[in-house]
Structure 1
């Protein structure tokens, strides 16, 4: 019985980590200052993403990933993996090979 409880607990934790809260929103408003970011392509979507410290966000489907704000909150691990290192908010741009991009507004707790 104890082994069964442990398996259920581990399965629940694994699903919680994999199914991190992702909320899709409208494209970013013009009031945001993103002048340092190259936006030659089309904005595909804006994603609000909640993370915990030491959690990873894998963006392997994109060709280029860059952190535009929140360098003390998240860091790049490799070329296309983002790790949460501190509490706060960060903005990450992910580009595909056509130049289209997705904005990730990351909130680390």
Structure 2
């Protein structure tokens, strides 16, 4: 099984504990960067080449088309997981990769989304 590299934006501390625990318990998965500001996400993606990007803040999408364009140019990112409601990802709908929205955060749901079985 291939190792899955995960990058996360600036997720609230209370939620980050659960996210970090889920990543720790999900086999062959590791955090390559977290606590990334919305402005820093494109550079962090280029630097760390994650396969999964977790967005805990809708502010991370404030870059609008720039964010979708950044994802489209980087072949390493296979999935985007959002921890906020589906309405917030409208600008990513045209992005051809997989987007998962987790409305009820749990270790099991997050691990399944990371592995692509959500």
TM-score normalised per structure 2: 0.31
The structure carrying a bigger strand percent of its residues is 1
Larger-Rg structure? 1
Structure richer in helix, relative to its length = 2
TM-score, normalised relative to structure 1:
0.32
